[in-house]
Structure 1
């Protein structure tokens, strides 16, 4: 049985068993509908026509479950499916071959957290997340790493006077090799500094080295990262640099990011405005520009439909997010 089918079967068993263990098992469903209308203007319309369409912004539905094995050790599980609303499909809107976002089980306690399955990876959490703050489909592209992987074992340490560590191993998900990630973070006052390595291995000895900064000062948030893509393969450029600034005023958050990602977008500018209408509903408008093609793709398309030889372009969009 495939890993996906095993996870779905396990989820069904947990759902059916929940009433029998209602006093001890915490079980909660959740979801998020995220969609926007976009006007896409490629710089080279001979490669890709301009268009106006709806685009999913990573909608999902899932559940969390946890069960106290002892007063200090908790068993947990999570299953989360992607929903591509404009395409009416259970798939990630970018990687449209992916039909599970998260499927993990693990243990957590005073010793930290162990998890197995498909999950967000430690390198992304420590290095890329600090600048992945936009609400649209175009958030998160300005990096060379991946966000989630299956067949992964991960560990997150507890904090030691502000210092914490994480590690992950993913089977056969690197460059024809297993993938290894290691990170270290140090938090003090309202600042967190992180360093990490994403080792894909393979014949080209491919590695990504990264460092990030998160700083909050009242209503102002600043995030920054720097990455080096180190490989023996023929690759055009090896650095990624991002600076993100967000400012919250009441129910409104104003966002801007400038980035330089060599070989994947080149010079990038992203700006936006979020309005948190209530606890569940958010409206957003954004502008996205990339010098070379990285995120812009065909109408309703994703990774498989992207012409990475294109000349980039710009996107104007407006949408909403409803959490339940």
Structure 2
């Protein structure tokens, strides 16, 4: 089979590898589609992983089933999750499933930018059959699940006002999902006119000086995080959604955070419950993500797909191996 191997944060080569084989409790899927995530083009994030086959927003069709698997059948189309928490450790019990050691240690083999992927036994139970959802929309289950988890981390509730900073895929999904959560108003900050217009078309309003209850920052820029914090009303909540550079330091008004009782949260990835909630929302048609897809490429064009996302020329790129 072919894999798109990232040998550096900016370099991808196509390699031939043996087809994976499903062992006991495992499943092998032929990849139908895999979305390009912002983390796939974050130099500091990817540098820690390379060489690696990236891609984790995956849908596939089951081709092999190992002994003891009865959750899915050959021919089923499924949403594939990339990590699974244990559900029992202290971190899981405190609501930090994505920080669980099991979550961090489980992974797809080799990754979504490949013809086929082996799902280890710990992840087989996380497969979601694509009943009523097509393979391309299915790639948005994971990114939408991350948004929903961020909402929970930030305490977003019906009637709140929300500021979304950055109108890439995550920001636009957040705007659509916030309306489904019956927030009072969604504001947006986005410097690029084309992305700003997409946000406005989704029902957001351009933010000026209005104070908000929750600010979701979907960009790693330290200046944007500081600006978002300054827009919070007393008792507000700041949520960092994109990973800042490890070398960057935040310049926040500590006295203002204290006197305003501002809560600062961070949200990384998504757990099984978030995945199911996102799947249900997409299957119900509450949110339609396909208008966010600006490019579709074959597996051999994975380097181009990543470059489009890296340069900001795409909202969402889907890699379609077949």
Give yes or no for TM over 0.5.
no
- Under a length normalisation based on structure 1, what TM-score does the superposition of the two structures give? 0.27
Q: Which has the higher helix share?
A: 2
- Under a length normalisation based on structure 2, what TM-score does the superposition of the two structures give? 0.27
Which of structures 1 and 2 has the larger relative contact order (alpha carbons within 8 angstroms, sep 6+)? 2
